[in-house]
């Protein structure tokens, strides 16, 4: 099966959510194949459906005064951070067409990160059935938070490459207080290009989900989403 992949650069979380929503509608009507959006957000705190207000250490008003975007979102999980130096992957992926359950999907997202770290960077990473995501020791390097509507996914994963880890002090990431977070650069002590890592993640995602990636420009993708929305409105 084909997978359209678009590298969107740095965009606002709300803008990415609107794009995902439009693409989900097109995917539901089988007007587009599965899609993987790879991007970066400005400093952003998002609160999932299971958000506990106590896990937001710095108040919302203070964060916004600091120039940090804050959003409530429809993904699963608690509070998390997105920011520069982090590869964010948003698959708009039809679980039904792959005969896949949500548990299988999350497992495969984790496996994407684990294999990428092992094969490209010689880093041993693991999953934890209690705390989802990808871990290097007791530090999370890739977070996972998904929403599934009509068996089609939104949101996805966030892989720390050169992320400002001190920004995680604003929250209890995913509600976890007894573990830490890390990044590829922190763990290796070397600089790594974020978009090169994004290309690696695309490769391992494609292998894990047994799809064939096809690059599509951000402009063409946005045009596709807008045209599809207009056609559906007229139908």
With beta carbons less than 8 A apart as the criterion, state whether 161 and 121 touch.
no
Give the integer Cα–Cα distance in Å for 62 and 32: 41
- Catalytic one of 116, 146, 174, 185: 174
Give the integer Cα–Cα distance in Å for 154 and 47: 15
Give the integer Cα–Cα distance in Å for 184 and 203: 18
Give the integer Cα–Cα distance in Å for 215 and 221: 10
Q: Is 106 helix (H, G, I), strand (E, B) or coil?
A: helix
- Where are the strands (E) in 30-83, listed by range? 34-40, 44-47, 69-72, 79-82
Q: Could you confirm whether 185 is annotated as catalytic?
A: no
What does the DSSP 8-state code read for residue 56? B
Could you list the active site residues?
174
């Amino acid at each position: 099966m084909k997978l359209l992949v678009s590298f969107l650069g740095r965009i606002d979380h709300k803008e990415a959510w609107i794009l995902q929503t439009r693409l989900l509608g097109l995917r539901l009507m089988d007007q587009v194949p599965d899609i993987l959006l790879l991007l970066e957000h400005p400093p952003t705190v998002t609160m999932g459906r299971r958000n506990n207000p106590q896990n937001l250490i710095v108040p919302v008003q203070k964060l916004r005064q600091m120039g940090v975007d804050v959003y409530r979102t429809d993904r699963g999980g608690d509070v998390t951070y997105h920011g520069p130096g982090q590869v964010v992957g948003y698959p708009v992926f039809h679980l039904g067409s792959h005969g896949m359950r949500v548990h299988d999907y999350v497992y495969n997202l984790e496996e994407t990160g684990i294999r990428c770290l092992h094969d490209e960077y010689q880093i041993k990473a693991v999953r934890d059935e209690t705390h989802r995501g990808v871990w290097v020791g007791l530090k999370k390097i890739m977070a996972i938070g998904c929403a599934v509507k009509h068996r089609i996914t939104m949101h996805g994963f966030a892989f720390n490459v050169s992320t400002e880890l001190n920004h995680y002090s604003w929250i209890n990431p995913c509600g976890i207080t007894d573990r830490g977070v890390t990044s590829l650069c922190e763990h290796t002590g070397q600089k790594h290009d974020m978009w090169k890592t994004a290309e690696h993640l695309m490769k391992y995602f494609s292998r894990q989900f047994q799809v064939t990636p096809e690059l599509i420009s951000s402009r063409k993708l946005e045009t596709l989403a807008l045209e599809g929305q207009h056609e559906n409105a007229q139908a």
